[in-house]
Amino acid sequence: MEKFKTLLLQAKVKIMNSGILRSNEDLTVSPDDLADEADLATSVINQQVTFNMRQRELGKLKAIEEALYRMEQGAYGHCEECDEPIGVKRLENQPWTTLCITHAEELERENSKFIKAI
């Protein structure tokens, strides 16, 4: 458990120190960009990329916090779908995961079908 707690805390520190959550540089439009449509389009694309990166990092940060909480509650390392232990290799690669590999793959297939249907 200590090994995974250390991995979770290291991942949390990495996100917090990355600066992606504090940077506002790409989230503003320069008045100079308003005159040129290409510059404005580039600015909007950069904003969207930055926003998506922030959302992904915030989601990961939330998952890390939830994993630390599950650890305190004694529920860490078990799949939330089947309650079977999650493999050590999977936890080493993604210590905040809540699903065993079987259920993670199943969820990925379902999401893939949903995206194709759209």
3-state secondary structure the chain: CHHHHHHHHHHHHHHHHCCCCCCCHHHCCCHHHHCCHHHHHHHHHHHHHHHHHHHHHHHHHHHHHHHHHHHHHCCCCECCCCCCECCHHHHHHCCCCCCCHHHHHHHHHHHHHHHHHC
pTM of structure: 0.75
Per-residue pLDDT reduced to its tens digit, 43-75 = 778 788 888 888 999 999 999 999 999 999 999
Query: So where are the chain's domains?
Result: 1-76, 78-118
What is the model's pLDDT at position 94? Answer: 95
- Percent of the chain predicted with pLDDT > 90: 57
